[in-house]
Structure 1
Amino acid sequence: MDAARCVHQRVRHASCTACETACPTNAWQSTGDGLTFDADACDRCGLCVAACPTQALTLPAPQPLLARQNNGAQAAWWRCERAGPPDHPANAPCLLALSPAWLHLAARRLGVHEHVFVPGDCSRCARGAGLPEWQRQWRGQAALAASRGFALHLRLAPAADWPTSPDAGAPADLGRRRFFRRAAPPAPVRSSPPLSSAREDIWASAPTTPPPAPVAPLWQVDFDRTRCTLCLACVHVCPTNTIFFIAARADSTTTRFGFDLQKCTGCGLCTAACDSGALAPPKPTPSDGPPAHGPESWPLRTQRCQRCGVDFRQFASADGNPHLTCPTCAQGRPARAGRIVQTSPP
């Protein structure tokens, strides 16, 4: 565990329970003292690694079996440890630990366009509770891949179809890597650039069809501009630059504040840092959710408070009438003169 990446380490009142919710053995627990981990209860399924929005957790990366298909193209084969006869080699404790974002990244690094899954019976497995969320994320990632010109397919196969011939393929060496951060291509091994987030422009080098079609984000954060004081705490704590502030100069007319929800991982740091209630906790976007759109931002202007004389930022309102007082003075606190005094020595 990389504590510096965990939201509970960064913001005391963080509300993220991703690892705790994903863990089928209750190895992760939230207590009054913080987040605790019981190593004896862990079965190394990897679901918490895939669920962590800030990639604070690490396990050895799984290794797919690369097998050539009838059409001559290679596919990556993945088998759950609870699927088929025990003498068949499993290369993933749980297929739900292979996050859709990581599968798309691994496919591009491995040069394959198809993942073949040999699953166990998820309906009889405690790990299967995460299947609906996995499917939702797969739909979002598939749409994002299609908009970037990268076609990737997922196919289910029975255990009897697992490639066994010597020339069917060989395990790809992905080594001990972060699930979300890095995946190595087949031999000859080449170093791959690390990604600081599972949502950070996975398709940077993929062919695009300009302009790429926007897709619905996987997470939605509700924002109430009327409650926002533009303290920018959310901007400073967001690990993926989902919330941004742009200003060339303090008085620049191009100063803007906005969101790019395509980068949001649902970590909840922004809502934990917001003390004005302007941000609602992130929630998954349903498959039939709001229409897709790109980054959204609003122009700002700088105003000098007529009460305390401090410069502050505010949203440029449609009617052009600026607020005359800063958020602190607007709360109605009375001005107190002479609160700082110097006394003469005795």
Structure 2
Amino acid sequence: MTRLPLTLIPAPPGAGSLCVRKTVNKNPCQACVEVCPLRAITLVSGRVVIDDDLCNRCGQCLYACPTDALENIQPVPRRWKADRLVAPLSAQAACVEELLLWHFEKGIRAIELEPDHDGWLRAVAELNLTLKALNQPTWRLAEPANDAVDRTRRQWLRMGTDAASGTVSVGRRALRDAVTEYQLYRLTLATQRCYLCGACARICPEQAIRLHADRIMLDAARCTGCGQCAAVCFPQAIKSEKQQNQDPVMRLPLVASICTHCGQAFNAWHEHQHTCPFCERHTHGMR
């Protein structure tokens, strides 16, 4: 009888079925590729591949993914006490998106830093620029408690304090829900090219685009920049841009019309439009 091993080999990290590249082949999203500090994430035949040997589990890709598609990677646990992150910190600095979630979810307002943590200093400086733009209090820098002779002993002693350990939520969706005044993406629609076919509204996983009988709504407050709308738009009329948006909801009115060529009902941008987008672009006279 064959005995199964008592220890299970953990599944390797990768992109699951929620990855937008698995839903629409044309989607150009490579958010996880761009943020990986070790270049452990690459695209192979249009699919996300993570090199398990190179990956150090820093978790930065988790905070960049617009659809929470990454699997078998956990965020790095951090230690905090009251309103500050406390030492020891990880060698790899956290990304600004993670620090924003610590700010809004846990109420963190300070961080213990040692002089040689240049990566963390840059991360906190970038975070404070973002917080100023949001009219939020910036983070203070504090020195770690000097209660031991060397760093190693200090780290062990700190394990016995009343500091808590844990993580925050991950992903652009979590950042969108936690920071309601932080609209990072802007939806634009070129009405002169749009067919009003509704493909963008049907494919959007966040319902940031909603097509109604009398209007189309572009809700940038819900957009996570996944790019699905632009990937399925044949006339390239819609796009999502990374730009802080002050007017998150745009309502574009529509009118009901009947095509004088094919006789079909269609949505139009104005009351004087009596030819549907398909007949307008038909070049073979087969109406």
TM-score normalised per structure 2: 0.76
Partners of 1:167 and 1:123 lie apart in 2 by 24
Q: What residue in structure 2 maps to residue 96 of structure 1? A: 95
- 2:110 and 2:142 in contact (8 A); partners too: no
Of the three residues 258, 261, 280, the one matched with 1:304 is 258
Specify every segment of 5 or more residues in structure 1 that has no aligned partner in the other structure, as ranges: 68-73, 80-88, 182-196, 205-214, 248-254, 338-346
In the comparison of the two structures, how many residue pairs are matched?
Answer: 263
Q: Deviations over 1:276-299 (max 9, x none)?
A: 11123x33226xxx7x22411111
- 2:208 and 2:219 in contact (8 A); partners too: yes
Equivalent position SS for 2:139: strand
Matched, 1:138 2:130: yes
Q: Deviations over 1:304-325 (max 9, x none)?
A: 211112221122x3xx42x211
| Regions of 4+ moved over 6 Å | none
Partners of 1:102 and 1:334 lie apart in 2 by 56
Whichever residue aligns with residue 83 of structure 2, its letter is A
Aligned-pair identity (%):
25
Matched, 1:5 2:4: no
Partners of 1:334 and 1:116 lie apart in 2 by 68
Matched, 1:232 2:198: yes
Q: What residue in structure 1 maps to residue 281 of structure 2? A: 331
When structure 1 is superposed on structure 2, of 306-315 and 92-101 the one drifting more is 92-101
Q: Deviations over 1:31-86 (max 9, x none)?
A: 3342222111112121111111222125323333332xxxxxx213155xxxxxxx
The 5 A counterparts of 1:148-159 are 153-159=138-144
Q: What residue in structure 2 maps to residue 45 of structure 1? A: 58
Q: What residue in structure 2 maps to residue 342 of structure 1? A: none
Measured at CA, do residues 100 and 42 of structure 1 come closer, stay the same or move farther in structure 2, by a change above 3 Å?
same
Equivalent position SS for 1:198: helix
Equivalent position SS for 2:225: coil
The 5 A counterparts of 1:230-269 are 230-247=196-213, 255-269=214-228
Specify every segment of 5 or more residues in structure 2 that has no aligned partner in the other structure, as ranges: 1-13, 147-153
Matched, 1:28 2:36: no
The 5 A counterparts of 1:127-206 are 131=123, 135=127, 138-139=130-131, 143=134, 153-159=138-144, 169-174=162-167, 179-180=170-171, 197-202=173-178
- 2:258 and 2:264 in contact (8 A); partners too: yes
Query: Deviation of residue 241 (structure 1)?
Result: 1.9
Q: What residue in structure 1 maps to residue 267 of structure 2? A: 313
Measured at CA, do residues 97 and 199 of structure 1 come closer, stay the same or move farther in structure 2, by a change above 3 Å?
closer
Partners of 1:305 and 1:133 lie apart in 2 by 57
TM-score normalised per structure 1: 0.64
Of the three residues 57, 60, 71, the one matched with 2:70 is 57
User: Counting strand residues as a fraction of each chain, which structure ranks higher?
Assistant: 2
Q: What residue in structure 2 maps to residue 66 of structure 1? A: 80
What is the Cα-based RMSD across aligned positions, in Å? 3.5
Query: Deviation of residue 167 (structure 1)?
Result: 7.9
Query: Deviation of residue 168 (structure 1)?
Result: 5.0
Query: Deviation of residue 29 (structure 1)?
Result: 1.1
Whichever residue aligns with residue 170 of structure 1, its letter is A
Partners of 1:56 and 1:203 lie apart in 2 by 21
Q: Deviations over 1:234-268 (max 9, x none)?
A: 11222222222234xxxxxxx21021212222221
